[in-house]
Structure 1
Amino acid sequence: MGNMLHGEYKVPGGKLVVVDLEVEDGRIARFRLAGDFFLEPDEALEAIDRAVTGLPAESSAADIAGAVRATLPAGAVLLGFTPESVATTVRRAIGRAADWRDFEWELLHPVAVRPAMHLALDQVLLDEVGDGRRPPTLRIWEWDEPAVVIGSFQSLKNEVDADNAAKYGVDVVRRITGGGAMFMEAGSVVTYSLYAPGDLVLGMSFAESYAYLDDWVLQALRSLGIDATYQGLNDISSPLGKIGGAAQKRLAPLPGTRSGAVLHHVTMSYDMDGDKMVQVLRIGREKMSDKGTVSAAKRVDPLRKQTGLPRAAIIERMEETFVRLTGATRTDLTPEELAEAEELVRTKFSTREWLERVP
């Protein structure tokens, strides 16, 4: 008999999925599914157990989900989970994935720095977590000047109206993650970065990892009365409109390790100046047409409008929620980290070469 493997996966916005299994001769054995989900009819649970038992241990998540879906009785109802979430939990069990509480998290909320410094800190802290010099960390951003932060692969001239950016004194910088441009003024957005070991999202697709890494902030927003949900790949939304968006970058594991690291950061609108934003950003007609709207400002419903709370109060609830869920300890950036980031600002993030790498 092989060693029993255990996996858990909290479906973002859904229920907890739990699996126990063994691996014998390269195949899944004695598989059992459990959780606080809802499933009808009762016999569907045993059908899922039978479908997964005997599959090759190296089966992809797509193959496992397909086997589960194929075995479900006609008319079966799954509430709070899906065949894909079962497959994710199986892959996490076999890979011995970690959970939030398996790490000693730190929470950083330093004083305001300029936009390029934030981007340099992202690279520094991601590298440190990746090579084990820093524990997993949540960092809240503060800044006191307007900026546009474009995605790593975006065209500068296609995204930013340079004349209007100069007119309004908007600093334009490029980050190391993909995704779209962010218009940021002092006090107008809530931005944070997570630096996590790759083990935390082991077995998840990219889409699942986005929602999983932001589930804590959705819990915080819901506690403030916002019906927050995850939409598409990387949007945090509510029935009143989009609230914000996420982006990621992953580091490959170092030689002799298996984890790597992931940078996951989010910007949510607190109190946007939509008129100024659409003058500085070149929001394409195609992006507007697929949303059925004529203005980027109308696509976003800021946190101030939805809560009536000061920005600091929203951040305080976010921090309280994160500490409660992860046990994080509040700490500060080290002088060495700040010095390394300053050097990266000088050599990379404030250079024309980096900003115009995609002209």
Structure 2
Amino acid sequence: MRGEYKVPGGKLVAVDLDVSDGRLSEVSISGDFFLEPDEALADLNAALNGLSTEVGVDHLASAVDAAIDETVSLIGFTPEAIGIAVRRALGKATGWADHSFDLIPPVTLDPAMHVALDEVIAREVAAGTRQPTLRFWDWDRPLVVIGSFQSVRNEVDPDGATRHGIEVVRRVSGGGAMFMEPGNTITYSLVVPSSLVEGLSFERSYSFLDDWVIGALADVGVRAHFVPLNDIASDQGKIGGAAQKRFASGAVLHHVTMAYDIDADKMLEVLRIGREKLSDKGTTSANKRVDPMRSQTGMTREAIIESFMASFARGHRTTPAAYSQAELDQARQLVDAKFATPAWTHRVP
């Protein structure tokens, strides 16, 4: 059996192994990493031989840690990376190449419907009734989408929201508020099975699931990089942020919003958090804080999204897809029963 794991920003780790009576045997670690002294490779292999095939990444990584001391340097990889490669060899964890992805282009909907579709599609991916899915948002009216744990009164100025006719919807993932007017951001949701991020901490899973879009940004001329915990930045400043939710049913929702062309003055009238973040940055100009994709690329929003979809399709097996009527019906029911209710929206007052 063979498993591979590419460390985001690091090196490839591969593990070849056999299984005998429910135990790992003949373990052989390889890759383009660096290891000093090189004799330590035998110790890494020996640390894994004999372990149960049922132990998780943490246990595997601890066994590797225990087999080395301060004289050993793992460069470009980690004990956790070895553990993930082992789990992939056993078929317990998966990689990008193990999946085909449904790719859904932007469809204009009420933004609350997109929040509900995140939950509907995650349920289907976990059940295996839909492939892992990358879908882009388009919406027909302005809205503020707040994170699952944010306080409405601390994040949203009610007078500004009323003045501009902007409502508030709470999403299922954490993170910060999204100020969304039609055409002002580029937003997508990626839903994958939990096996794709098995063994990764939340921080590492953010960078792992964002890795493809760093390449997609390069394709449109933006030199971008990941900033822990959940930001994407270019040489000219922050351009987007991610939010994530791991469902107990076996799916992970990862979505990203990038500023395209935001009315920053309006945003500051609606979002209290905008003022605080500007203060933290020592920035007096809202337009300086919000660094739109439009100014960095010179491209239309539609052209950027098309390029992003093409970039993802080049690196992954994809199938053009659409929402089923059943999915849209379920999403509408969720909007009425959950996402449009005061009990949900104000669950953190």
Q: Given the two structures, how large is their TM-score scaled by the length of structure 2?
A: 0.88
Report how far residue 62 of structure 1 moved: 4.7
Report how far residue 294 of structure 1 moved: 6.2
Report how far residue 6 of structure 1 moved: 2.2
Seq. identity, %: 56
Would the aligned equivalents of 1:48 and 1:72 in 2 still touch at CA under 8 Å? no
Specify which of 280, 283, 302 is matched with residue 312 of structure 1.
Answer: 302
C-alpha change, 1:187 and 1:285, in structure 2 (3 Å) is closer
Q: Matches of residues 241-280 of structure 1 in structure 2 within 5 Å?
A: 241-253=237-249, 260-280=250-270
Counterpart AA for 2:317: G
Q: What's 1:142 paired with? A: 138
Specify which of 89, 92, 109 is matched with residue 93 of structure 1.
Answer: 89
Q: What's 1:103 paired with? A: 99
Cα distance in 2 for partners of 1:92, 1:133 equals 22
Specify which of 302, 306, 312 is matched with residue 292 of structure 2.
Answer: 302
Q: What's 1:257 paired with? A: none
Which 5+ residue runs of structure 2 have no aligned equivalent? Answer: none
Kindly report the root-mean-square deviation, in angstroms, between the aligned alpha carbons of the 2 structures: 2.8
Specify which of 4, 10, 15 is matched with residue 8 of structure 1.
Answer: 4
Would the aligned equivalents of 1:44 and 1:72 in 2 still touch at CA under 8 Å? no
Q: What's 1:333 paired with? A: 323
Q: Matches of residues 121-160 of structure 1 in structure 2 within 5 Å?
A: 121-160=117-156
- Structure 2 residue 168 is the aligned partner of structure 1 residue 172: yes
Which 5+ residue runs of structure 1 have no aligned equivalent? Answer: 254-259
Cα distance in 2 for partners of 1:60, 1:154 equals 33
C-alpha change, 1:60 and 1:336, in structure 2 (3 Å) is closer
Q: Given the two structures, how large is their TM-score scaled by the length of structure 1?
A: 0.85
Cα distance in 2 for partners of 1:184, 1:190 equals 10
Cα distance in 1 for partners of 2:309, 2:289 equals 27
3-state SS in 2 of match to 1:333? coil
User: What are the superposed Cα offsets for residues 293-312 of structure 1, whole Å, 9 maximum, x if unpaired?
Assistant: 56776454332222222212
C-alpha change, 1:219 and 1:50, in structure 2 (3 Å) is same
Report how far residue 13 of structure 1 moved: 2.8
Would the aligned equivalents of 2:37 and 2:73 in 1 still touch at CA under 8 Å? yes
Cα distance in 1 for partners of 2:96, 2:73 equals 32
Cα distance in 1 for partners of 2:260, 2:36 equals 42
3-state SS in 1 of match to 2:183? coil
User: What are the superposed Cα offsets for residues 102-152 of structure 1, whole Å, 9 maximum, x if unpaired?
Assistant: 233211124211111111111211112222222221110011322210011
Specify which of 23, 36, 45 is matched with residue 49 of structure 1.
Answer: 45
Segment drifting more, 276-285 vs 139-148: 276-285
- Kindly tell me the number of residue pairs found equivalent between the two proteins: 348
Counterpart AA for 2:75: L
Specify which of 259, 271, 279 is matched with residue 281 of structure 1.
Answer: 271
Cα distance in 2 for partners of 1:297, 1:67 equals 50
Specify which of 188, 193, 196 is matched with residue 200 of structure 1.
Answer: 196
Counterpart AA for 1:78: I
